[in-house]
Amino acid sequence: MANGGKVLTEEITVAPRRISGPSRSYSMADQIFENITRFFAFLVLLLLAAILVSLFIGALPALKKFGLDFIGSTAWNPVTNVFGGLVPIVGTLVTSAIALLIAVPVSFGIAMFLTEMCPARLKRPLGTTIELLAGIPSIIYGMWGLFVFAPVFSRRAEPWIDSHLGSLPLIGPFFSGPPIGIGVLTAGLILSIMVIPFIAAVMRDVFEVVPHMLKESAYGLGATTWEVVRNINLPYARVGVVGGIMLGLGRAIGETMAVTFVIGNSHSLHVSLLMPGNSIASTLANEFTEAVGKIYISSLIELGLFLFIITFIVLALAKLLLIRLSRMEGKRS
Average pLDDT, the chain: 87
Round to whole Å and give the CA distance between 18 and 193. Answer: 64
Tens digit of pLDDT for each residue in 10-61? 444 545 555 455 555 567 888 888 889 999 999 999 999 999 999 999 999 9
CA distance 253 to 191: 9
How far, in Å, CA of 116 to CA of 225, rounded? Answer: 7
Of the chain, the percentage scoring pLDDT greater than 90 comes to 49
User: HSE of 33 in the Cβ direction (CA atoms, 13 Å)?
Assistant: 6
CA distance 185 to 95: 7
Contact 74, 289 (CB under 8 A): no
Crossing angle of the two packed helices 280-287 and 86-112, in degrees rounded to 10: 120
Q: Are strands 76-77 and 82-83 parallel, antiparallel or unpaired?
A: antiparallel
Q: Domain coordinates of the chain in residue numbers?
A: 69-332
**Interior/surface letters 28-60, b for 16+ CB within 10 angstroms, e for the rest:** eeeeeeeeeeeeeeeeeeeeeeeeeeebeebbe
Return the minimum-mean-pLDDT range out of 6-10, 258-262, 312-316.
6-10
pLDDT digits (tens, 9 = 90+) for 131-151: 888 888 999 999 999 999 999
Query: Residue 5: what pLDDT?
Result: 47
According to DSSP, residue 44 is labeled H
Distance CA 131, CA 235 (A): 25
Fold held by 69-332: MetI-like fold (1.10.3720)
Q: What share of the chain is helix, strand, coil (3-state, %, to 5)?
A: 75, 0, 25
**Structure pTM?**
0.84
